[in-house]
Amino acid sequence: MRVRMMTLSSVTKMLGIVFLVSAVTALYAQQMESSVKILLERLPLEKQQKLKNLSDELENYMQDHDWTGSGEDQFKTSISIFLQDISVNYEDRYSGTFVISNNDDVQFYDKYWVFPYQAGEPIYHDETIYNPFTGLIDFYTYLIIGSEYDKFGKFLGDPFFEKARNIANQAAFNVQFNKGWRERTELITYLMSDTNKPFREAKDAFFLGMSYAGEEDTTAQKYCRQALDLLEEALRVTELKDMIMHFIEAHHLELIDMFKGDAEALEQLIKIDPDRASQYEEYL
């Protein structure tokens, strides 16, 4: 048997191909850095054993998908799932509470999740067909991504909120597993409504201001003051005050640092966020 020898150029070309494939794979794998924790304690021991690898499988599901179509933007999510067994004699079924966050200023909680799942069945993305298991995960992941994009420009999250709305529309036709989708439809409708625009604009103004932090002029303060005005407006009209207060809680130290000695801005912060009034008053 003759063994064909590879030339140096062939080896170099082959290594280049391997590197390119590895780089592309790493790029997509790193787009979503996700931690998934599933609490199985209330399941029968048999089901606990069957689902022992589900956390890892869902982490792979989150991290191996290009959620934005660009493969470039980086996101972080943490997911906690608490499962209970509601199986019927012909099918394994579960109910669950679901919490997803970006580890910072966005979090969603859902207690109405019901889905069938057979341990070991492949978990994959298919936007054309509603899956009661992955559909909810995708819905809230797109809410997280849309919320992140809103930080980079006015209403840049719209395409991802639309993806979430499409999932909700698909779910409406699944009579057997549509529990909670009325509430989720109301949530996405509100997030995209005119009522929620002040909050979305506030996030854009805040992060634009923070991008100028440390500059000698007052550009950073100008945009962050716009954010305060918009947050105050949002709190007057919002149906989801907790969502706004969660954002303020995550960034109140940055706002304090931005407005040290600015009595007018700090008084406005006290009005917006009275629970932390004592912290703001220290810097008046």
pLDDT (tens digit per residue) in 44-67: 999 999 999 999 999 999 999 999
Residue 113: pLDDT over 90: yes
Q: What is the pLDDT of residue 72?
A: 74
Q: Using alpha carbons, select from 82, 79, 87, 90 the residue that is nearest to residue 46.
A: 87
User: Of 153, 256, 267, 273, nearest to 211 (Cα)?
Assistant: 153
Q: Are residues 147 and 204 in the same domain?
A: no
Q: Are residues 47 and 144 in the same domain?
A: yes
What's the pLDDT score for residue 73? 81
Mean pLDDT of 244-266: 97
Model confidence at 18: pLDDT above 70: no
- Report pLDDT for 202: 98
Do residues 235 and 146 share a domain?
no
Encoding tokens for residue 98? 């679901």
- DSSP summary character for residue 88: B
Cβ(209)–Cβ(250) below 8 Å: no
The answer to whether residue 170 is domain-embedded is no
User: Could you give the angle at the alpha carbon of 86 between the alpha carbons of 83 and 89, nearest 5°?
Assistant: 140
Please report whether residue 90 resides in a domain: yes
* pLDDT attached to residue 19: 36
Quick one: 148 and 210 in the same domain? no
- Per the structure, the complete domain to which residue 49 belongs is given by 35-129+136-152
Q: Assess if residue 273 is contained within a domain.
A: yes
Q: Which of 95, 119, 152 is the last residue of a domain?
A: 152
Residue 213 pLDDT more than 80? yes
- Residues 53 and 142 grouped into a single domain: yes
- The mean pLDDT value for 150-178 works out to 96
pLDDT score of 216 more than 70: yes
19 against 200, higher pLDDT: 200
Helix 263-272 vs helix 241-258: angle between axes, to the nearest 10 degrees?
160
Helix (H, G, I), strand (E, B) or coil at 235: helix
- Compute the average pLDDT of residues 181-194: 97
Task: Say whether both 53 and 140 belong to one domain.
Answer: yes
Residue 223 lies in a domain: yes
Specify if 172 maps to a domain: no
Question: 157: closest CA among 201, 126, 120?
Answer: 201
The answer to whether residue 164 sits within a structural domain is no
What pLDDT sits at residue 238?
84
Give the pLDDT score at 12.
38
Residues 107, 206, single domain; the answer is no
Residues 146 and 200 grouped into a single domain: no
Distances from the Cα of 239 to the Cα of 68, 189, 197, angstroms: 28, 12, 12
Residue 70's pLDDT band, with cuts at 50, 70 and 90, is confident
Residue 65 tokens read as 């998908």
CA 110 to chain centre: 13
pLDDT higher than threshold 70 for residue 21: no
Q: Tell me how far the alpha carbon of residue 169 is from its chain's centroid.
A: 20
Which two three-digit tokens encode residue 243? Answer: 């969502």
Domain annotation covers residue 140:
yes
What's the domain count of the chain? 2
- Residue 142: the pLDDT is 98
What local confidence, expressed as pLDDT, does residue 14 receive? 32
Q: 165 in a domain, yes or no? A: no
Average pLDDT, the chain: 90
State the number of CA atoms in the 13 A half-sphere of 238 facing the CB.
19
Q: According to the model, what pLDDT value does residue 17 have?
A: 34
